[in-house]
Amino acid sequence: MTKGQWLLIKTKQHRMLFFMLSIVLFLMLYPLFETSSANAAIMTIGMSIVLFFGITAVSVEIHEWIVGLILAVIAIALGIGLNLNPGSSELRTAYLSTNLIFYLYTVVVILYEISRSPRVSLEIIFGALSGYLLIGLVGAICFAIIEHFAPGSISFNGDDFAFHNIIYFSFVTLTTLGYGDMLPESSFARSLASLLAVVGQFYLTVLVAMFVGTYISHRRHHFIE
């Protein structure tokens, strides 16, 4: 077995773990380069890495892999185009929208896989955590789109508009922390903030119920055998 084959096997075996780590690393490292002159390129590279591991995460069935690959290729192409023409409003909107669709699709596939899993494994837990982080990114992209079309929709408390601030606001809203340092100002931003907070709590509630139900079912089946 070659090193490349071994790496491919490991990636497939731990696809949810690698996907979750790619999201965590992106969220932690991206703010460090926010003020860099290569900010757009670094964001594109970071998003592309997340997209790559996202493809491996949804590649259980061939049709899921094809849909994920198509969306990822389009997003990466738009990201490259945005780097070449950073002032294009159309490219920015298309890039954010494609990433939004890909992440929503990935969340749905991950939840479907969790629901049909016969037992609660580490990969399933990593998948659930990845889904939760993706919802935060989905919220950030939606807020970024709203702010792009209606500047001033979010109060940054004196800070300039920056994607890491949008990510921070999205996760603070998702987890219902509500520090109050950033606020939704427009009706669209407020509606999205309310929806994101509800989805965050609903996701955790349903997830725990699914895990408990799967665990009880597995234990009962094991006991009968």
Domain range for 68: 3-224
CB 46 within 8 Å of CB 40: no
Q: CA 47, CA 212: separation in Å to the nearest integer?
A: 33
Residue 8 confidence (pLDDT): 41
- Summarize pLDDT for 137-165 with one digit per residue, the tens: 999 999 999 988 888 888 877 666 777 88
CATH of the domain at 154: 1.10.287.70
pLDDT at 1 over 80: no
Name the nearest CA neighbour of 140 among 161, 125, 118. 161
Closest CA to 135 of 173, 165, 184, 83: 173
The pLDDT score that the predictor gives to residue 35 is 63
188 or 43, higher pLDDT: 188
Number of independent structural domains in the chain: 1
- Spell out the alpha helix ranges (H) of 117-186: 122-149, 163-174
